[in-house]
Amino acid sequence: MDFDELDDNWVTVYKLNERGEEVWHYNAELVGKGTNFACVRAAFAGRHDEVRRGFLVFRSGDAMTEWFYNDRWYNIFRVQEGSRGALKGFYCNITRPAQISEEVITAEDLALDVLISPGGEITLMDEEEFEILPLAAEDRKQALAAVEQIKQMVANRVPPFDEIPHSS
């Protein structure tokens, strides 16, 4: 899509590394916005037709609903199968708080990822990569606290994790 074709309902999302350098970007439809968050929808279109991350397999056309926060150290991606819409799981990036403007969302990824299955199982990924990042002590502390916040949100079924069934 050409940037000239974008209207007020579209934003460009930039994934940055921990140094603030662009890793990639994509266009997404803005579907909700508040004082501390933006919610967008986008179709997965990675560099490959299929990307495996733990139990999650992203395929071209999968539907992604994504929440970015300017006061939290993570973002949340709800992943649905493109053809049927079935929930595949949630993918949470541990990031510095997002920068959100009318046209652009940027998030600096800090390597750690939290995956949540449709049944509520939690998997932490890329711990080794996180450990070697040259982060300030406060950034490292905030990132680890974010992992715990996500775990609590899942345990308490706080939206968007409220669709995960409670285990019996």
Do residues 90 and 77 make contact, with C-beta atoms less than 8 angstroms apart? yes
Give the tens place of pLDDT for each residue, 81-111.
Answer: 976 789 999 999 999 999 999 999 999 999 9
- Average pLDDT over the chain reads 90
Where are the chain's structural domains?
3-158
Angle CA 162–42–91, to nearest 5 = 45
Local confidence band at 78 (pLDDT 50, 70, 90 cut-offs):
very high
Class at the top of the CATH hierarchy for domain 3-158? mainly beta
pLDDT by residue (tens digit) across 7-33?
Answer: 569 999 999 999 999 999 999 999 999
Q: Give, as one character, the DSSP assignment of residue 167.
A: P
